[in-house]
Structure 1
């Protein structure tokens, strides 16, 4: 919580006047400047660090200058104030264990239902939304600080969302994953908007809410309020209650990165399939270039609708187009190029 240096004015030219504090993971990697402090001749106790949010195995205090241009230095003492005593480590273990077991059971049950009936994937947004609201309500009422909320969010993501993403992006014996099927259906509904009536009209927004929730995108168009609430909840749970902050702890970030990669690869496969179908149907058409550009614009628009501006999905879009071209015979590819 606090690192202080004790100095004395009677030390005259031996008294420090400028101090720099650095941190590192080992004695050989002390490179991160944590603070720089100027010391007045009248000071006796100088705070060098306070309220640190990261643990540094090694901290180095460098006296850069002394009063009156002195070339030697004298320090009267160093004081360290550690973290407040807490029962949180014990409570955290029990809380995360309870959350992990509960979420794992739900993830297995929901995955099995989706494997039996791909249409159940459309219900996943509502289920995740309710689960997020429950966990966020618990965090708001009972958890003491941001660290606790982050721990709960990481456990929730690891035990529920990550296994679900892995399940819905895994291909069945026919080579088609539930998410790939859903995204293909979405593209078909976008391509034929005049058929969108009744339940079909609600299909597109339902798919967008699900994909935006899974990849942490704030809905950009006027979607229902529950969609915006779910995106906010998912971010608050994984980031804690620190608005605008960066997540601390690599486990949650690793899980989200793996899930994002799986969804991006699924989108790449869907795009590649769409482009292959187009080339098979229109590969020799005289207006191929114009139609090819229109296809790209349509798929680029769908990418932004489903996943926002995230670079991983823009890259997946380009890889899907490239993969489709690489599958063509040489002469056909030459003609298309």
Structure 2
């Protein structure tokens, strides 16, 4: 019904309000009257501390873990949740599958693409609600998603904190929640940031001993991955894999965990440098996750290696000059 109201508003603006400023004013009014109260209602926690939107998002994540079946109840539920969240954050979800719409019991008008209050032409917003107008409602949804992510990560760490494949499963969880973020909210950087904040919030609550254990596991995992990329050097694979491999670790920035992670990482880095020598890959890794090293020890180690190599070359040239001078004296 909300979608149909927004379609009606957009049709009215297109037909009777050719002036962009008037269309934007109408869009702001509709957004403030319809969407803001709705978002405030569904993001307000009940007596148990869970908001309706948080419950929906948690159920959506649970449905992602279930095996897929053709046109199941979970598919219909997931489609409805995605269309709701995309509408609320101003993303046009596009045409749903007609069969899916019929299975959900929607009439043909409901199966039409959800229209938002903004009109996009040439990549610029032509009308409807502005970013500032929807900032309060968007903030509520952002905080809700952050809380859902934090709860998911907390449950994972409680269940798998001592597992030997902790980091592999952690990276899998990050990729799953990253994919869910895009499915639910589109390519909006603010929701990716909320995703990282949710991970950081859960990691921040670990005990000191657990933090030590987890940090060492993370550093050891990266050591194995970097060595594998070393062996694959020369192909396009390492360059393409590097950023995706390191993205789950960027959330360490600013946490106490970053200090212990840096401590273990620099020891593994030292072993790699002694065994394999410096390489562009080590520099690329440090550049990508450098914010996770509060004391900048890895950066200092690589910088010292570069300086040492320059001094070695200068000494080599000095030796050649001395030898040439001795030969001239003969």
**Short-chain TM bin:** 0.5 to 0.7
SS at match of 1:253: coil
- What is the Cα deviation at residue 244 of structure 1? 4.2
Q: 2:90 touches 2:118 (CA, 8 Å); kept in 1?
A: yes
| Residues 1:158 and 1:218: Cα distance change in structure 2 (over 3 Å) | same
- What is the Cα deviation at residue 267 of structure 1? 0.5
SS at match of 1:229: coil
2:103 equivalent to 1:229:
no
Correspondent of 1:314 among 170, 192, 197:
192
Q: 1:209 touches 1:219 (CA, 8 Å); kept in 2?
A: yes
Tell me what 2:172 maps to: 294
2:137 equivalent to 1:259:
yes
- What is the Cα deviation at residue 142 of structure 1? 2.9
Correspondent of 1:172 among 46, 50, 68:
46
SS at match of 2:132: helix
| Residues 1:195 and 1:269: Cα distance change in structure 2 (over 3 Å) | farther
Tell me what 2:26 maps to: 152
Q: Which has the higher strand share?
A: 1
Q: 2:43 touches 2:140 (CA, 8 Å); kept in 1?
A: yes
**Runs (5+) with no aligned partner, structure 2:** 99-109, 216-330
Q: Which has the higher helix share?
A: 2
- What is the Cα deviation at residue 216 of structure 1? 1.6
SS at match of 1:230: coil
Give the superposed CA RMSD: 2.5
Correspondent of 2:148 among 270, 273, 277:
270
- What is the Cα deviation at residue 223 of structure 1? 3.1
SS at match of 2:146: helix
Matches of 1:258 and 1:165, distance apart in 2: 9
TM-score by length of 1: 0.55
| Residues 1:218 and 1:197: Cα distance change in structure 2 (over 3 Å) | closer
Tell me what 2:89 maps to: 215
Matches of 2:212 and 2:59, distance apart in 1: 31
- What is the Cα deviation at residue 245 of structure 1? 3.6
Q: 1:267 touches 1:317 (CA, 8 Å); kept in 2?
A: yes
Matches of 1:243 and 1:307, distance apart in 2: 21
Matches of 1:227 and 1:300, distance apart in 2: 27
2:72 equivalent to 1:198:
yes
**Runs (5+) with no aligned partner, structure 1:** 1-126
SS at match of 1:286: coil
Aligned residues: 204
TM-score by length of 2: 0.56
2:131 equivalent to 1:131:
no
Q: 2:96 touches 2:113 (CA, 8 Å); kept in 1?
A: no
